[in-house]
Amino acid sequence: MAFQLLCIISLLIFLSLPFSSLSATEKCHPHDKEVLLKIKDSFNNPYHLASWDPKTDCCQWYVVECDRETNRINDFHLFAANVSGQIPPEIGDLPYLESLTFHKITNLTGNIPISILKLTKLKSLTISWTNISGPIPSFLSQFKNLTFLDLSFNNFSGSIPSSLSELRNLGGIRLDRNKLTGSIPESFGNLTPSLQYLYLSHNQLTGTIPRSWGDLNFTLIELYRNRLQGDVSFMFGKNKTIQILDLNRNMLQFDISNVVFPDSLTFLDLNHNRVTGSLPQGLTQLSLQGFNVSYNRLCGPIPRVNVSGQIPEEIGDLPYLESLTFHKITNLTGNIPASIVKLTKLKSLTLSWTNISGPVPSFLDQKKLSGSIPESFGNLTPNLQYLYLSHNQLSGTIPKSWGDLNFTWIELHRNKLEGDISFMLGKNKTIQILDVNRNILQFDISNVEFPNSLRFLDLNHNRIRGSLPGDLIQLGLDGFNVSFNRLCGPIPQGGTLQNFEYTE
């Protein structure tokens, strides 16, 4: 009898196991699942949300993530999806959401729904590269936990809400590439000291920059292509932390002669303004990677580091040297000294923008800068990310085996290279910048697949034929030039291509 009772109990336990296991694997909160299915329905059940099956755990669905402890949806990121319509108001019914992203969805229209105000835990809000329009809602200032706000590349219009200055935890704001008008709000003079990054470029902003910004320590500011006026010299100073400042194409007017620039400055663009005076000698002490003051009202000489002659042979007597750079020294002449072969620990060698001449020494395991690219370059190390061979007289074809490498940046422009380079591109490549303009390259571009990583492509002045592929509009291109080729057919419409100027 005891044995029979034990068997019955064991059977009951066994039968209960599948049901308890199924329940245990269902982490998703039923309320969150219901809301997400409503959102899917609002978008007419797009393919991008095909994983949103009501029979499965929503914590395993694409586009969303669950908190590991609460199992509530805390991250919603819809990226490059083929959906259309407006942001569903149901998005506000995900009370534990901390990060909300709609990015690169050109068919997303309408306004930002007020229902998102219910997302009291929101820390990051990104609505970028869409066609969302209307004014930027002032109610965004109620997201007191927000650390990042990105509303770039949209169709927002009207003025910048002054109430955004009440977001005291922000580390970065992006409102660039919209149609914003009016002046920068006075309240922005009281922006939180935690704000490091500010992007307001490509709008129609007028007036002056708040004077109190001189008391803040930004890392990056982009205000270019607006209609801003007045003096910005107060943004500089020896103790500032600004690294990148781009104010080009405004109507700024000040005397640059006595401006003291911070040591932290690495990039400064003031082109197309009304800046007066002469360039300070202190500029030569900075480690600038980019500097443009063209199309202003400057006078006087360009400051230079007063170095002339040849590279001393004694440079080879620094046995622990790992990095050697001579850059932008026009009075540096002669050949590369053979003594540098003694620098056995050297990892980086830069000799650029000088008047050093002669052949590239054979001890650098290079060839002369004419003739073809050596076949041995087809076996370049996979670690090589950057390759610059432009402005030479190289001829022949590009090694086919480069198609097996994953470069980040290649510049081969202004040579005499021939043949097909379509093998350099492909959906799984990592190339970001490819500049091969002014060669004699010849291939059909019609069926070329471009990698999602591509940001800059210049193929101008070659012999490329065919029509531009439609998937170009899906790329986040910052620069694109295929002029002076043998192309035909329509230009794909939409996406980033709409930001470029067309020429026949």
DSSP of 98-144:
-EEEEEEETTEES---GGGGG-TT--EEEEEEE--EEEPPGGGGG-T
Phi-psi region of 212 (alpha: psi -120 to 50; beta: other; left: phi over 0): alpha
Start-to-end CA distance of the chain, whole Å, equals 95
Asked if 166 and 145 touch (Cβ cutoff 8 Å), the reply is no
- Tell whether the model's pLDDT for residue 376 goes beyond 80: no
In angstroms, the CA 87 to CA 487 distance is: 38
Nearest to 219 by CA among 173, 256, 252: 173
Q: Domains in the chain, start-ordered, CATH in brackets?
A: 306-366 (no CATH), 369-504 (3.80.10.10)
What per-residue confidence (pLDDT) applies to 15? 41
- DSSP assignment, residue 193? T
What per-residue confidence (pLDDT) applies to 318? 86
Highest mean pLDDT among 187-201, 253-267, 348-362, 396-410: 253-267
pLDDT digits (tens, 9 = 90+) for 341-369: 888 888 778 888 888 877 667 666 443 35
| Number of neighbouring beta carbons within 10 Å of residue 85 | 14
- The proportion of the chain whose per-residue pLDDT surpasses 70, expressed as a percent, equals 90
- Tell whether the model's pLDDT for residue 5 goes beyond 70: no
Residue 502 banded pLDDT, cuts 50, 70, 90: low
Asked if 412 and 398 touch (Cβ cutoff 8 Å), the reply is yes
For the chain, the maximum distance between any two Cα atoms, rounded to a whole number of angstroms, is: 110
- Classify residue 69 by burial, with Cβ atoms within 10 Å: 0-12, 13-18, 19+: exposed
Averaged pLDDT of the chain: 87
- Tell whether the model's pLDDT for residue 454 goes beyond 60: yes
Q: Element (H or E) spanning 13, and its range?
A: helix 2-25
What per-residue confidence (pLDDT) applies to 500? 59
What per-residue confidence (pLDDT) applies to 326? 83
Question: Global pTM?
Answer: 0.62
In angstroms, the CA 81 to CA 79 distance is: 5
- Tell whether the model's pLDDT for residue 504 goes beyond 50: no
Asked if 138 and 114 touch (Cβ cutoff 8 Å), the reply is no
- Tell whether the model's pLDDT for residue 252 goes beyond 60: yes
- Classify residue 220 by burial, with Cβ atoms within 10 Å: 0-12, 13-18, 19+: middle
Residue 3 banded pLDDT, cuts 50, 70, 90: very low
| Residue 34, C-beta contacts closer than 8 angstroms, at least 6 positions apart | none
Nearest to 173 by CA among 130, 128, 204, 225: 128
- Tell whether the model's pLDDT for residue 141 goes beyond 90: yes
For the chain, how big is the Rg over CA atoms in Å?
29
What per-residue confidence (pLDDT) applies to 327? 82
Residue 304 banded pLDDT, cuts 50, 70, 90: confident
Which amino acid does the sequence have at 28?
C
What per-residue confidence (pLDDT) applies to 381? 65
What per-residue confidence (pLDDT) applies to 265? 94
- DSSP assignment, residue 336? P
Asked if 229 and 253 touch (Cβ cutoff 8 Å), the reply is yes
Higher pLDDT, 21 or 438: 438
What per-residue confidence (pLDDT) applies to 347? 75
DSSP 369-438: SEEEPPGGGGG--TT--EEE--SSEEEEE--GGGGGS--SEEE--SSEEEE--GGG--TT----EEE--S
In angstroms, the CA 248 to CA 238 distance is: 22
pLDDT digits (tens, 9 = 90+) for 468-490: 998 888 888 888 899 999 999 88
